[in-house]
Amino acid sequence: MLYRYETRKLLCSPALVGFSVVCLIVNFLLLLMLYGNGGYEKPEPVHEAPNVFEGYQVGGIAEGYIRKHNVTEKNAQNVKVLYGKLQPVIERKAADGDALSPAFGTATWYVHDTFYGWIFNALVAEGCLIALFAALLSVGYENVRGTEPIICSSKTGRGIMRAKLAASLASALALFAPLLGLTLILFFARYGARHDFAAAWGDNVSNGFNYAVGAYGKPFITWVSFTVGQYLYACIGAAVLLSVCFGLIGFCAGVFIRNVTVSCLAAAVACGLMYLGKSLFAIGSTVRGVWNMTPVWLWRGSAQWFTDGEADIVHARFETAGLMASLAVLAALRVASYIIYKRRELT
């Protein structure tokens, strides 16, 4: 009953629903702005892409990043070790013919970069913010209304926080799902006149016409083989888990700090520190690589999920390790915050 009540309260919140609508409008405007960027017309049909992985050596990528960012000593070695692990993946892709899929032909990089570099990155941010706001709103509701002493003196008492956590996460996902679905529909409708998504859905995402986002000329290399559809599903799954991380950040901030305004500021400061802290460490360093696994930088690196990334990312499958580590740490903080809340005076 409490879970249903808390969920209904959040889903009927004008602030949360209004924010979701604003996000959809922003995505639509972004699609309008990006459509046609680059001057692509409908590409000529292509029957087979070149096998770009045949004889490809990743050592050149590592050396290029080392020169570009002036990476030295141990940090340079970290970059070389990462790409040394990638070489067997390249050879397997060459043998399996991953690059031979035609996908969207000569427009493949443009379509991929537009979606993952812009649209999907915005979607991930929106899902994370919805989860953060839902948790802060749910936890602080009784404190704002002045009903917290009454609730805590009831039979359920402070155990209501368990229902609030479940309700905030469920509500965030319930609001994110239509936002994601409608944005995808708008994207496919907008670009469907030029590109055959149905035909490309089963093609390999690491095809010969695709390049790393923001790095034209470097193949789009995933650690495991994905079709275009499978890669999208995997990224959506990672986005959902990342939104759960931000929901836990909001929940912990709201429980540790009873004042709603201060808890919102605390959550913002925590995210700001995660964002700014990476600049303190050198490119290629182990600490900077670990920093990329924090929730904020997992969002920033969403266009590189399941790929080799770049010199900044010195850990293979950084998004999987980062999500698991973030969820574990935040779950522990959630338990600690709940224990403190159960013993804390309300006055």
User: What distance in Å separates the CA atoms of residue 20 and residue 42, rounded to the nearest whole number?
Assistant: 33
User: What distance in Å separates the CA atoms of residue 48 and residue 24, rounded to the nearest whole number?
Assistant: 37
User: What distance in Å separates the CA atoms of residue 247 and residue 107, rounded to the nearest whole number?
Assistant: 37
* Cβ atoms of 41 and 194 closer than 8 Å: yes
User: What distance in Å separates the CA atoms of residue 114 and residue 184, rounded to the nearest whole number?
Assistant: 13
pLDDT in tens, 86-122: 999 999 999 999 999 888 888 888 899 899 999 999 9
* Cβ atoms of 33 and 147 closer than 8 Å: no
Per-residue pLDDT at 135 exceeds 60: yes
Paired residues of 19 in beta bridges? none
User: What distance in Å separates the CA atoms of residue 13 and residue 254, rounded to the nearest whole number?
Assistant: 18
- Return mean pLDDT, the chain: 87
Rg (CA), the chain: 23
Per-residue pLDDT at 40 exceeds 60: no
Give the residue with greater pLDDT, 334 vs 37: 334
User: What distance in Å separates the CA atoms of residue 175 and residue 172, rounded to the nearest whole number?
Assistant: 5
- Using CB atoms within 10 Å of the CB of residue 277, give its burial: 0 to 12 exposed, 13 to 18 middle, 19+ buried: middle
Q: Which tokens belong to 69?
A: 């960012």
Q: Which tokens belong to 54?
A: 């045949």
Per-residue pLDDT at 238 exceeds 90: yes
- Count of beta carbons in the 10 Å neighbourhood of residue 19: 18
User: What distance in Å separates the CA atoms of residue 333 and residue 253, rounded to the nearest whole number?
Assistant: 10
Who contacts 282 (Cβ-Cβ below 8 Å, separation ≥6)?
71, 75, 288
pLDDT class of 4 with cuts at 50, 70, 90: confident
3-state secondary structure of 120: helix
Write phi, then psi, for 152 (nearest 5 degrees): -70, -20
3-state secondary structure of 218: strand
Query: To 10 degrees, what angle do helices 120-145 and 260-277 make?
Result: 150
Strand stretches in 164-254, DSSP E: 211-212, 215-219
Give the residue with greater pLDDT, 292 vs 214: 292
Q: Which tokens belong to 303?
A: 């266009």
Q: What does pTM read for this prediction?
A: 0.91
User: What distance in Å separates the CA atoms of residue 102 and residue 301, rounded to the nearest whole number?
Assistant: 26
Per-residue pLDDT at 50 exceeds 60: yes
Task: Report pLDDT for 158.
Answer: 63
Per-residue pLDDT at 39 exceeds 50: no
Per-residue pLDDT at 182 exceeds 50: yes
Domain ranges across the chain = 2-37+46-343
Per-residue pLDDT at 38 exceeds 60: no
How many alpha carbons fall within 13 Å on the CB side of residue 24? Answer: 18
Per-residue pLDDT at 185 exceeds 90: yes
Q: Which tokens belong to 258?
A: 């009873």
3-state secondary structure of 312: coil
Q: Which tokens belong to 331?
A: 């779950």
**pLDDT (mean) for 37-65:** 74
Who contacts 90 (Cβ-Cβ below 8 Å, separation ≥6)?
53, 56, 57, 58, 221
